[in-house]
Each structure stands twice: as C-alpha cells, then as structure tokens.
Structure 1
Amino acid sequence: MSKTNAGRFFEDYALGEVIRHAVPRTLAEGERALYHALYPARHALHSSDAFAGACGLDGSPLDDLITFHVVFGKTVPDISLNAVANLGYAEGRWLKPVYPGDTLSAESEVIGLKQNSNGTSGLVYVRTTGRDQTGEPVLDYVRWVMVRKGNLEAPAPDTTIPDLAKVVAPEDLVIPDGLSFADYDFTAAGEPHRWGDYAKGEVIDHVDGSTIEEAEHMLATRLWQNTAKVHFDATFREDGKRLIYGGHVISMARALSFNGLANAQMLVAINGGAHANPCFAGDTLRAWTEVLDAAPLTDDIGALRLRLVAVKGPEALAGDLKGEDGRYLPHVLLDLDYWALMPR
C-alpha cells in the first residue's frame, strides 16, 4: 500500500463531506516581513504597532491576505492538488484579526458538485473556515475549483450548485473589537482621502505596474504551504509553464491599490472574485479599482465596496473586461469584489 498521497480527484468528493485539513500553522513577525518583501504592501494598520494602537487595537495585525493565504494553503492538499484551475470566490468574511503568535487551522465542507460536459473534470464547491488556537473562526469563504477526474469511467454525481449571495450585506461585516478611526492619523497613513471622498462609479487607476517573477511567486506559494502541482512542476502543463498562484495576483493587486486607496485599511469581505485568465512569470501586472458602493458602519468607520481589477500587458486600464461572447478578454487576470474599512 502506498504511503504517499496523490491527492483527490473529482470523483473522490461527496456532497456534505467535511474535511479537516492537516498541519496547523503558527504565524510570526517573519510572515509580515516576507509578505512586505514580496509585495509593495504599505497600509499603515498592518505596518505599525503605534498606528494600530492609536486605532484601538492591541498592536498591528498581520495583513488580512496573510490570513487568507495561510488558510487557503491548508486546503490545497485536499481540495486543489489536482486542480486545473481555482475559479472563483464568494461569501468571504474576515471575522477576527490575526496577530503574530496565533496558530491557524482550517476545515472545508463540500457544498456543491458538477461534472463538466467533457467528462474529464468537474467543479467542486467548498466552504472553508479558518480558526485560531482558541477555536474561534478568523475567516470563512466559498471557493470553487475545477478538478481532474482520476477514473474517467466513474459516474457523475448529481449536480448541486450552491445558491451564493452576490454581496455580503453591510450588516454582516465584522468590525474588530476596539477598532476606532476617531483619532486617525491621515499623514501617517499616507493619503488624506476619507470614506466620504469616494463616489459610486469612481474609477481609480493605481498607476504602478509590477512584473511577476518566477522565483518570487514560488517563494510566496511555498510560504503559504500551497502544494498545487501547477505552480511548481513545469511538466504538469502541456505548455511547460508554471501557473502563478491566483493569491499572488490578489496580493500584488491589493498592494498596488495603496496608491489611491491608502486608507482602505482592512479587508472585511470578499463578495465575489474570478481568476479570469492565467498569469505567468514575465507578465506585468497593473490594477485599477471601481467604487461599487459605500456603507456607514459607525460614527468613524465606513465600508467601501470595491471592484479590484488586475490586467497584464499594455492594454488600457478601466476598459471592457469581457468580449461579446461574455468571456473575459485575454489581458484580464483578476476581477475581485470586496469590502474594506475606511475612516469616515
């Protein structure tokens, strides 16, 4: 009997199955330092204990996407080791800040299955919850993945596609205990723009670009203990390329968004998201954001609903994303809809 794990294939999933993922991960300050070395992340709340303390927190929490990547990475051996692609997200919420010294673990429930018409792969929908060492949830989200079949003769499961909310309602957004922007230092944060300075429909070009490097994306993906073969094994794809982890694209685009959204300090929800096209080393990523909505939460905190789009190459920013066939145009890498907290 083999002691190694070849990963699950589409036919190995059962609706309603709950999978407890292996290898809890204790996070340290090195996590933040390496994250900021990989991405141009500069949001003050995740950079300065003094700034975070003035905002009512017990020091600077780790970047919200560190939490996302660590929890996501825990799921890969069980959910997406044999994935063709990670396709999208919905109903994501950050529930509690994560600090150096916290230990994260994850579990996922299979909430949907659909075999593709070609009979060689299928879609697996899971709801993943990340918890800290106290057992409290810090993050939950839904994602769906295209997974290869191992046995092409295996019967197709009954099709179940979950009914997912298009938007996390503002009243379901979680403000961390103690967080207050009443004495917010705009100079230290880097920009003067408040929640009320942004208008629905406004489009912000984040100006800067960043060329994706092979070594950096593999370093980042290993940091999150993401073992998906498509990111490391150049023989796994017919084109001989290593696919850039979609989370690497998310983090790069979010970091670039500092220019214009420096005060969008905390991610609190993912409403939806799509990795529109594959990204490879050598692609130059640029980003823009459209303001979709705004919600007042407290006297000094508001939430902005933002659409973050990452594109590659010299194509114009803030243009059409999809062609007449409804498919994303080839230069579009990421289309992410999220809520962020900002001082009012």
Structure 2
Amino acid sequence: MAKTNAGRFFEDYTVGETIHHAVPRTVKMGERALYHMLYPARHALYSSDQFAQSCGLPFSPLDDMIAFHIVFGKTVPDVSLNAVANLGYAQGRWLAPVWPGDTLRSQSEVIGLKQNSNGRTGVVYVRTTGLNQHDEAVLEYVRWVMVRKRNVDAPAPETVVPDLPDALSADQLSIPKGLDFTNYDFTLAGEPHRWADYEIGEKIDHVDGVTVEEAEHMMATRLWQNTAKVHFDTSARPDGSRLIYGGHVISMARALSFNGLANAQIVAGLNGGAHANPCLSGDTIRAWSEVLDKAETSAPGVGAIRLRLVATKGGDAFALRGEDGKYLPEVLLDLDYWALMPL
C-alpha cells in the first residue's frame, strides 16, 4: 500500500466537503524577523510594541501577511499541489490579530467546481479559514485554482460556480479590539499623510524596486511550508524555471507600498486579486496603488481605505491592461484590498 501522497486531482473534490489541513504551527517572534528580512516591511504597528500600545493594542501583532502565508501554506498539499495556476482571491477578511505564541491551523470548504473545456483540467473554488489555538477564526478567504485531472476520461462534475461579490463593504471589516488612532504619531510612522489626504481615483507610484532572487524566494516558500511543485522542482514547468510563489509578490508589493502609504497600517480585507503573469527569478518588482474607495469606521480615529495594489516588472507607471482588455505582460499582480489608517 502506497504511503506517499500524490496530492489531489480535480476529480477528487466534492462540493460541500470540508478539508482539515495538516500541520498546526506555532508562530513566534522569529517569524517576524524572517519576514522583515525577506521583504522591506516597515509599517510601524508591526515593528514596535510601543507604537502598537499607543494605538490601543497590548503589543505589536505579527504582520497580517504572515497570517495569510501560513494559513495559505497549510492548504497547498490538499488544494494546489497539482495546480496549474492559482487564479484569484475574493472575500478575504482578517478577523483577529495573530500574536506571537499563537498556534494556527487551516481548514477549507469546497464551494465550487467547473471542468475546463479541454477536459484535462478544472477549477476548484475553496473557502479557507485560519483558526488559532482557541478555535477562533483569525482569517478567511476564497480562492480558486486550476487543477489537473488524474484521468482525462473521468466524467465532469456538475458545474457549481459560487456567487462572489466584487468587494466587501467597509462595515464587513473586522477592527482589532481596542484600536484607537486618536493619538497616532505620524513622525514615528514615517509619513504625514492621513486618510483625509487621499482622494478616490488618486494613483501613487511607490518608486522603489526589488529584484527577486531565487534563493530568497525558496527560503520564503519553505518558511510558509508551501509545497507546490512549481516553486521548487525545475522539471515541473516546461521552461525549466521555478515559478515565484504569488504570495511572495504580494508581500513584496505591500512592503514597497510603504513609500506613499506608510500609514495604511492594517490590511483588513481582500476584495479580489489576480496573479496576472508569472514572476521569475531576476524580475524586478515595482508597485503602484490606486485609491478606490474610503469609509469611516466605528473605531476612534480609524478610517478604512480601499486600494488597488499593482505589482509590475517594468513598463509604464500606472499601465494595467492593453487595448484588448488583457493584462499587459509586465503586470504581475492586481490586488484589491481594504486597509485601516488614521483619519
């Protein structure tokens, strides 16, 4: 009897089933140190206990994207080990801070299936929840993945495509208990720009760039225990290259956005996202943002700002799609998210 796991294929999924992912992971301060080593992350709330305490929190939580990467990584052996591509995200909500010492685990519900016309692959939709040691949900999101079929002659399942809203409303965002930006220190945060200074439709070129290195990418992907073959095994792709993990691009772009959005401290919601083109070692990631919406919140001094974050590997600033409506080849990431910042 085989003891090894070849991963799931498209015909192995059933709408409505819940998958409990191995292996729980306890996160500590080393996670932050490694994250800040891999990305130029400088947001003050995640760098300083004293700053976090001045904002009403007991101490500095771990970066929001650390929680995302860990919860995501747990799902890979069961959801995307045999994936051709991770196609998109929706309805992501950070529900509670993750503190050093928390233990995270993941579970996913299959909410949709659609076989592709070629009969060789299909799209699997899952809603993933990250839970802590108290069984409290800290993160949830939907993603859809193109997965290979094991047997091309296997019958197609009934098509179920979930109805996913274009965006979360601001009142659906979860605000950390005690968060208070009324005494916010703009000098220590690094920029003077507050929520009121941003206008819907405004675009911000984040100026800086970081070249992706093969070794750093593989360190990051191992750190998040992401086992997808395309990130490690050069025989898994026709061109013999390793595909850079999409989350690596997300974290790099989020870190680069500090220059111009230093006060967008907390990522609270993920409305949608697409990895528009592959990122490979040697590509230099740059980023720009567009303000899509703004809303006040019930927390003192706290505003919500909806942002489009675009990562590119060159090309014209603020260019996104060609005349045919398709993403330009230099666009790597198109991410729509909500952040919390001082009013």
Q: What TM-score do you get using the length of structure 2 for normalisation?
A: 0.99
The root-mean-square deviation of aligned C-alpha atoms, in Å, is: 0.7
- Partner residue of 1:302? 303
- Partner residue of 2:37? 37
Amino acid at match of 2:59: G
- Measured in 1, the distance between the counterparts of 2:25 and 2:71 equals 9
Give the share of equivalent positions with the same residue, in percent. Answer: 73
Q: Secondary structure at the match of 1:180?
A: coil
The alignment covers a number of residue pairs equal to 342
- Partner residue of 2:268? 268
- Measured in 1, the distance between the counterparts of 2:182 and 2:229 equals 47
- Partner residue of 1:150? 150
Amino acid at match of 2:20: R
- Measured in 2, the distance between the counterparts of 1:250 and 1:241 equals 20
- Partner residue of 1:55? 55
- Measured in 2, the distance between the counterparts of 1:67 and 1:89 equals 16
- Partner residue of 1:287? 287
- Partner residue of 2:339? 340
- Partner residue of 1:96? 96
Q: Secondary structure at the match of 1:235?
A: helix
- Measured in 2, the distance between the counterparts of 1:227 and 1:276 equals 21
Query: Structure 1, unaligned stretches of length 5 or more?
Result: none
Shift of 1:165: 1.1
Q: Aligned pair 1:163/2:159, yes or no?
A: no
Shift of 1:326: 2.7
Shift of 1:323: 2.4
The 5-angstrom pairing of residues 303-322 of structure 1 reads 303-313=304-314, 315-319=315-319, 321-322=320-321
Write the deviation string for residues 286-342 of structure 1: whole angstroms up to 9, x where unpaired: 0000000000003400000000000113x11102x2223332111110000000000
- Measured in 2, the distance between the counterparts of 1:287 and 1:342 equals 20
Q: What TM-score do you get using the length of structure 1 for normalisation?
A: 0.99
The 5-angstrom pairing of residues 98-137 of structure 1 reads 98-137=98-137
The 5-angstrom pairing of residues 173-184 of structure 1 reads 173-184=173-184
Greater CA drift, 326-335 or 30-39: 326-335
Q: Aligned pair 1:22/2:17, yes or no?
A: no
Amino acid at match of 1:163: D
Q: Secondary structure at the match of 1:90?
A: strand
Q: Aligned pair 1:172/2:164, yes or no?
A: no
